[in-house]
Structure formats: C-alpha cells, structure tokens
Amino acid sequence: MDGVPKKMPSLLRAHRLQEKASKVGFDWKRKEDVWKKVVEEIDELHAAERKRSHDHLEEEYGDLLFALVNYARFLRINPESALGRSTKKFAKRFQRIEGEIRKRGKKLEHSTLEEMDAIWNEGKKLEKKSHLR
C-alpha cells in the first residue's frame, strides 16, 4: 500500500489500492458479489442518513464510492476518467441550458426547473442523434 501516493486523486488512489490488494488475493471472485457490496453500501448510506450524523453519513458515502470504484475495476473502467467524462458531459449540457435561456432573454435564476430540464432533455436527444450518425 505504501507505493500508492497519498496525494493522488481519491478515485484513482482507491482504484490502485484495490488493484494492489487484488494481486495478493484480497479480492472478490465474481463481479456479481462486488455489485452486492455496492447495494449493501447504498443501504448503509440510507441508514446513516436517517441517523442524521454527518460524520457517519460521510463515512458511508465514502464506502459507497469505494465499492463503486471496485465495481468499475471489475468492469475494466478507470473511475477517474469515467467521472471526468461525466463531468465534462454535465458541463456541456448545462452550458447549453445557459445559452438557451440567454437566447430567450431570461436569466437562469428566473427560470423554472421544468424549463431547464426540458432544455437538458432536448440536448440529450440531440446528442443521441449525433452519436447515431
């Protein structure tokens, strides 16, 4: 574990730590078991939310992220790049909302969630059409 830098991004560090543990046999055998762990962590997060302890809630949220990183490893997905892609996609879609609202002569703060959501969904449809070409 010492060979994994503490200052590396948390998702990437979790991935590397899990890889190292796997190399010495500390790992799940089946991807389905990893998914069961993800579901278990979701349940624990919900239970922590009901207790209203912020520290416990944060701990359980971290455990869920850690389990999801492990599932990503089983899918051969780099969680850092996957989150980076999703973040980039979110920013692009939200910028579309900003631009469309401006074209309508409005400000975001004076727009409704329904209005913004409709623009978001229209953007998703356009993305799907461009992917099919």
Domain boundaries, the chain: 10-77, 85-132
Asked if residue 114 has pLDDT above 80, the reply is yes
CA separation (Å) from 4 to 8, 41, 43, 71?
A: 8, 24, 30, 20
For residue range 89-110, what is the model confidence (pLDDT) as tens digits? 999 999 999 999 999 999 999 9
Asked if residue 1 has pLDDT above 90, the reply is no
- Mean pLDDT score, 43-50: 94
The answer as to CATH 3.20.20.70 being correct for domain 10-77 is: no
The pLDDT of residue 111 is 95
Question: Considering the entire predicted model, what is its pTM?
Answer: 0.84
Asked if residue 14 has pLDDT above 90, the reply is yes
Residue 53 DSSP symbol: -
